[in-house]
Amino acid sequence: MSAPTAYSRTQIVLHWIIAVLIIGNLIFGEEIGDAYDTLRDTGVANYDLMTLGHIGAGVLVLLFGIWRLGLRLRRGVPETTGAGSALTDRASAVVHWVFYALILAVPTTGLAAWFGGLHEAADLHELAKPVFIVLIAAHVAGALWHHFWLKDGLLDRMRMARQA
């Protein structure tokens, strides 16, 4: 399979929707934590707006993530710009694949904890928070480094689609 010259419009839209949903759930995760404590202690599931929002956003991340992974495997992604070093290109590829693993695993462990009562899954789910934060920070720093230092147009590849 030869690499495409650009991300498709769908890949770009999915990238940003998933990013917003994940960052939202990272910021507003405490509320479902309290609801989960209540569920564990009393068996009563409290579906207030924050809890429903967390579950809804997480399920969308899972569904959109599967769609996006399918696109990536079938269509591929553009080659690296060539401006970075072999080491940074490799590191960014690793971060991208760990993102895909988290996009599948984090909502799944959340669902297993909430609906399946699997407390070990809840522990794993909580553990993903610092991992996500560190990787997002590295990913954004890398994108900004390419944009402002290497000036190779990498950020623009996620800004506009040249192919449908």
- How far apart CA 68 and CA 65 sit, in angstroms, is 5
What distances in angstroms separate CA 133 from CA 35, 76, 85, one per listed residue? 23, 26, 24
Provide the β-strand partners of residue 163.
8
How far from chain centre, in Å, is Cα 128? 11
Dihedral sign for Cα atoms in the order 159, 135, 107, 22: negative
Greatest distance between any 2 Cα atoms in the chain: 56
84 contacts ligand HEM (rule: CB under 6 A)? no
Of the residues 13, 26, 104, 118, which one makes contact with ligand HEM according to CB under 6 A: 26
Residues 95-134 that bind ligand HEM (CB under 6 A): 96, 99-100, 106-107, 110-111, 113-114, 122, 125-126, 129
54 contacts ligand HEM (rule: CB under 6 A)? yes
Nearest distance from C-beta of residue 43 to ligand HEM, angstroms: 14
Binding residues for ligand HEM, rule: CB under 6 A, are: 11, 15, 18-19, 22-23, 25-26, 29-30, 32-33, 36, 54-55, 58-59, 61, 72, 77-78, 96, 99-100, 106-107, 110-111, 113-114, 122, 125-126, 129, 136, 139-140, 143, 154-155, 157-158
